[in-house]
Amino acid sequence: MIRCTFFMLSDPDEQLPREERQKAIDRADRRLSRRERESRLLVKRSEDYEVFDNVFDVPTLMIINDLRSDGVIQQVRGSLAAGKESKVYTATAPDGSLRILKIYLTVSAEFKKRMQYIAGDPRFSDIKRGSRSLIAAWARKEFKNMQAAYAAGVRVPAPIAVKKNVLVMEFVGDSEGNSAPPLVESEVTSSDYKQVIEQMTMLYQKARLVHADLSEYNIFKTDRGIMLFDFGSAVDIQHPNSKQFLVRDVMNVNRFFEKRGIEVLDTALAVEKIRGGNK
């Protein structure tokens, strides 16, 4: 109404005969109500597709619902972290324990860059084009990597389920829902360094994987020792760049421990140790 009044006052046709003016007002009213109708429709549309907290779009909500019906989770509790390509939530399991939901988001530039990791991996040669299936492939890849590591006895959060872009795993942290601290937020010792190299060795020799995104941010320090996580980028040791990724992982780990005043192995030596007899 206010806008309509404004329209009337500012209208150069103000001097028109009364009848004409009334017609102009009616036209303006119609335009206004049409615009209101359209914007209401827009709101409705965006509600339908609303990305709650930028994560839960309708397809993701349906997956979460499926996970609930399957008894994998009971309820989503709260947001833990927002990473480069995913958001991490805690959820309760039907037995009351906590679980982690890692929800992969839309394709980011980073994600695209990392597609090279999938492209070179023989286990993922049948990926269809299109972002949704790519995101799902990425989540499945992290899940499979975790399964392989877990089965080989590497200390990683237990993988529980994967459905499209949602990965469910064991929660690592305290009973109040606080995650275990990553190395970067912990006091570290030479025993921690030794454990990291041991876990990397087991990952390489038993699970036949290279983490490929290892750093002080993707290693937990728990009461029961160190634990590797965030396996989205991990590659099979057959991957053409696996050696390069392994060297980078060792360099990241060494740089961190050295900075904290802990004696580290020479990079080439550590790489050799991790690879064992594998060429």
Ligand X SMILES: Nc1ncnc2c1ncn2[C@@H]1O[C@H](COP(=O)(O)OP(=O)(O)OP(=O)(O)O)[C@@H](O)[C@H]1O
Give me the active site residues, please: 213, 230
Confirm if 273 and 201 have CB atoms less than 8 A apart.
Answer: yes
* Count of CA atoms in the C-beta half-sphere (13 A) of 15: 1
When CB distances are held under 5 to 8 angstroms depending on the partner's kind, the choice from ligand X, Mg ion, none that residue 171 binds is ligand X
Q: Is 84 in the site for ligand X (CB under 6 A)?
A: yes
Closer CB to ligand X, 87 or 275, in the complex? 87
Q: Is 236 in the site for ligand X (CB under 6 A)?
A: no
Binding characters for ligand X, 195-234, by CB under 6 A (x = yes): ----------------------xx----------xx-x--
Q: Measured at CB, which residue is nearest to ligand X?
A: 83
Pick from 42, 58, 62, 81 the residue near ligand X by CB under 6 A. 81
Q: Is 142 in the site for Mg ion (CB under 5 A)?
A: no
CA angle 234, 235, 241 (to 5 degrees): 120
Q: How many residues does the chain have?
A: 279
**What contacts 24+ positions apart, CB below 8 Å, involve 118-127?**
120/235, 120/239, 120/240, 120/241, 121/235, 121/236, 121/239, 122/236, 122/238, 123/236
- Would strands 209-210 and 219-222 be described as parallel, antiparallel, or unpaired? unpaired
Residues in contact with ligand X by the rule CB under 6 A: 80-81, 83-86, 88, 100, 102, 157, 169-173, 179, 182, 217-218, 229-230, 232
Residues forming contacts to Mg ion in the complex (CB under 5 A) are 218, 230
